[in-house]
């Protein structure tokens, strides 16, 4: 007659316990809302020093000093080859019509392509700098286009919006600009 040791009985239940633990993790993952926000590490930090040549003939270039003149504004990173940049153009036009100043950084673009893009989709920018090697883009923590930053009057990044600005984002950008003005 064989007798099972107490520790041997416990190991018989181990696969079932692991399976139930796996099921519990899957259920938690399915029912808990996912946090898809990307936290910017540049919030609260000053813009780096930069000077960009003009991206188009009818607008001046852009430098850090232009974004630290005491007035909060939006800084939009875009490109003519970016489809979502065309999607956000009406929202940028709305913000400009409300008197919000918007500066642009054209990423890896040719002047003629930027001019064609702006002629087709509107030009909400007071200034547009050409970032031919994405140095400014990477320096401000942007990894793609379009992205929009709220810059306070001291040249500090207060908010980063990743992706195109859709109509439902306009109110949030207005609020972030008001916060940046205080």
**Per residue in 130-140, pLDDT tens?**
999 999 999 99
Give the CATH number for residue 80: 3.40.30.10
Q: What is the mean pLDDT of the chain?
A: 92
Does the residue 104 lie in any domain?
yes
Contact residues for 147 (Cβ-Cβ < 8 A; gap 6+): 76, 77, 160, 161, 162, 163
pTM: 0.80
Does the residue 31 lie in any domain?
no
Q: Domain containing 49: what range?
A: 45-180
pLDDT at 3 over 60: no
What sections of 53-169 are H helices per DSSP?
83-97, 111-121, 135-139
Structural domains of the chain, count: 1
Does the residue 9 lie in any domain?
no
């Amino acid at each position: 007659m064989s007798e099972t040791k107490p520790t041997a009985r416990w190991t018989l239940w181990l696969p079932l316990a692991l399976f139930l633990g796996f099921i519990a993790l899957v259920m938690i993952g399915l029912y808990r809302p996912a946090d898809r926000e990307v936290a910017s590490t540049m919030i609260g930090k000053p813009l780096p020093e930069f000077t960009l040549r003009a991206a188009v003939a009818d607008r001046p270039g852009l430098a850090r000093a232009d974004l630290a003149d005491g007035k909060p504004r939006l800084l939009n990173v875009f490109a003519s080859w970016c489809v979502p940049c065309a999607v956000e153009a009406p929202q940028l036009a709305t913000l400009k019509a409300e008197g919000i100043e918007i500066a642009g950084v054209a990423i890896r673009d040719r002047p003629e392509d930027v001019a064609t893009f702006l002629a087709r989709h509107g030009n909400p920018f007071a200034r547009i700098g050409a970032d031919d090697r994405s140095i400014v883009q990477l320096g401000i923590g942007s990894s793609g286009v379009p992205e929009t930053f709220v810059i306070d009057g001291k040249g500090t990044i207060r908010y980063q919006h990743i992706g195109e600005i859709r109509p439902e984002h306009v109110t949030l950008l207005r609020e972030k600009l008001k916060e940046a003005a205080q």
